[in-house]
Structure 1
Amino acid sequence: MQRPALSAIAELLKPITWFPPMWAFACGVVASGLPAQGRWPLIIAGVLLAGPFVCATSQAVNDWFDRHVDAINEPHRPIPSGRMPGRWGLGIAIVWTLLSLLLATSLGVTALLAAGVGLLLAWAYSAPPMRLKRNGWWGNSACALCYEGLAWLTGAAVMSLGDWPEARSVGLALLYSAGAHGIMTLNDFKSIEGDRRMGIASLPVQLGVQGAARVACLAMAVPQAVVVGLLLHWQTPLHAAIVATLLAVQLLLMRRFLADPLARATWYSANGVLLYVLGMLASALALRSLAVGVTS
């Protein structure tokens, strides 16, 4: 059987999508408040697990089970274009799943459990019979939890050598996961036609372009507002001010996005999401300052 080129395999694994979970993992590391000294091998392994392994697996799984949709929306992708022949796409998805679990075993039980849940969500999102992506509410929730919350919690767990993260870190991880639902919705604007024809009820298909855009903005803004309130409650006003400022700029960008969502979804993904993840880091730094204050 013809083998795919390495470039086709790399395109299947979509390196550009690895950044969000790697960033979230790093935020979990920072939020733990623990020193990196002596833990660098674990941190590096965890970053690799979050991005080039678990996230890459999810991309391979999605491309295989979305090959018919991609033939409409993105016919240049490796599988519908024929550059990934036969069942190579499925084989790579399975191998990457096993490699991810193997790497996760080196990071402790908690990290292995988090990786296992993330991989289950990746398969459940794309593969039948569950195929959560058939409904934008469930599918985007699964992706958001996998990309942001689980990656954050894994980073914190790795730093504590397997202990479950403290409640404030769990709370922020879940809030930023809720906000990431809006980020996932932004990604659905580019595939409306194929989703509609293949019976995938993404939010732009269910609610229309304008309705889905409003939901995406609310999903991103409300959790950040809650984060600001929590940071003030935890007496970290500087970090609260940073997150509030980043949110205020996002709200200005959202106004422009809502004026023409279909044309500006990619633009807002590039600009608004950057501000969103910077707020994640500011929140993680707030927890770190609290942890350092306690230990000192």
Structure 2
Amino acid sequence: MDVSSGLHVARRTPHPRAVLTLVKPITWFPPIWAYLCGAVSCGVAVSAAPGQVILGMVLAGPVVCGMSQAANDWCDRHVDAINEPDRPIPSGRIPGRWGLWIALAMTLLALWIGSFLGSWGFGATVFGVLAAWAYSAEPVRLKRSGVWGPGLVALCYEGLPWFTGAAVLSAGAPSAQVIAIAALYATGAHGIMTLNDFKALKGDRQMGVNSLPVTLGPERAARVACGVMALPQVVVIALLTLWGAPVLALVIAALLAGQVWAMTVLLRDPEGRAPWYNGTGVLMYVSGMMVAAFALRSLGAGA
């Protein structure tokens, strides 16, 4: 019997620190940031509804994103036993079916919190919860696809929170301009999610998960990811210029130029440089999101 099996038998309840590891706080930032982008872009003063802003941030990050991480780790426990056996579930620090119970409890918590954010907020919460389970759980398990899986995650990490933040604060459907910019950044985030798949390359190959790094190979997948990240930002720059915000469009263009430089470094060694790119190119990407949100606000595009 190996060590992880022994730990699995020894523990009957989850280790508290393992529960925090399971819900991965480091992953909460993107949806929280996107929710704030939505709140800024809608044109309503954030100070006018601080409770809704804070509640939405908690919902988007710790609750819905945390729930999705718990659900994914439970559904991926066999893959993680190959890729990352030290993770909470395969290591036994979260034994038995506790991983599933935590994910289900957080699902109910998400729906309860979402009910306090009005019909738009609750509807977005239902969509996010269903998407999280569709991504990870059989028989749907969209993460098996290198196209649909990252696309769904990108939508729920960037587009859906942005839409929700704008809808909750404005108490109605966001404008077409806000939706367009949110959709473009969600599309670009598909490339970010593809880069995240590099860390699971070995296990995905063995378990039949057809991520783009598996189906295309690391080099081609990295090139595709770079193109997918860059092209929507070019469209954002063009639209903001056309709508009358050329200065802020120029700021986004400068951030995109920085990303292109980082992409040249990434493409020299996609597997080795993917984590580095997440700390450089992705940071510039999400910075551009907030610049675009302020551009929309300055244009009065939220209403």
Structure 2-normalised TM-score? 0.95
Alignment map for 1:153-192 (pairs within 5 Å): 153-161=163-171, 163-192=172-201
1:43 aligns with 2:53: yes
- Equivalent residue in structure 2 for 1:14, among 21, 24, 43: 24
- Work out the CA distance in 1 between the residues paired with 2:132 and 2:224: 23
1:203 aligns with 2:212: yes
SS of corresponding position for 1:136: coil
- Equivalent residue in structure 1 for 2:156, among 129, 146, 168: 146
Query: For residue 131 of structure 1, what is the aligned residue in structure 2?
Result: 141
> What whole-Å deviation, never above 9, does each CA across 1:243-278 have from its counterpart, x for those lacking one?
000001100110111011111000001110000000
- Work out the CA distance in 1 between the residues paired with 2:239 and 2:16: 46
- Work out the CA distance in 1 between the residues paired with 2:64 and 2:228: 24
Alignment map for 1:1-296 (pairs within 5 Å): 2-161=12-171, 163-291=172-300
- Work out the CA distance in 1 between the residues paired with 2:193 and 2:277: 12
- Work out the CA distance in 2 between the residues paired with 1:180 and 1:119: 19
Return the letter of the residue paired with 2:220.
G
Query: What's the CA shift for 1:45?
Result: 0.2
- Work out the CA distance in 2 between the residues paired with 1:5 and 1:157: 38
- Work out the CA distance in 2 between the residues paired with 1:176 and 1:248: 16
Return the letter of the residue paired with 2:94.
M
> What whole-Å deviation, never above 9, does each CA across 1:96-130 have from its counterpart, x for those lacking one?
00000100000000111111111111000000000
Query: What's the CA shift for 1:6?
Result: 1.3
SS of corresponding position for 2:47: coil
Return the letter of the residue paired with 1:26.
L
Gaps of 5+ in 2: 1-10
SS of corresponding position for 1:193: helix
* Large movers: runs of 4+ above 4 Å: none
- Work out the CA distance in 1 between the residues paired with 2:116 and 2:39: 17
Return the letter of the residue paired with 1:123.
W
Return the letter of the residue paired with 2:33.
W
Q: How many residues align?
A: 293
Query: What's the CA shift for 1:4?
Result: 0.7
> What whole-Å deviation, never above 9, does each CA across 1:135-174 have from its counterpart, x for those lacking one?
110100010001100000010011112x010110000111
SS of corresponding position for 1:68: helix
Gaps of 5+ in 1: none
Q: Percent of aligned pairs with the same residue?
A: 56
> What whole-Å deviation, never above 9, does each CA across 1:62-108 have from its counterpart, x for those lacking one?
00000000001111100000000000000000000000010000000
- Work out the CA distance in 2 between the residues paired with 1:155 and 1:12: 26
- Work out the CA distance in 2 between the residues paired with 1:107 and 1:185: 32
> What whole-Å deviation, never above 9, does each CA across 1:17-37 have from its counterpart, x for those lacking one?
000000000000000111123
- Work out the CA distance in 2 between the residues paired with 1:63 and 1:130: 16
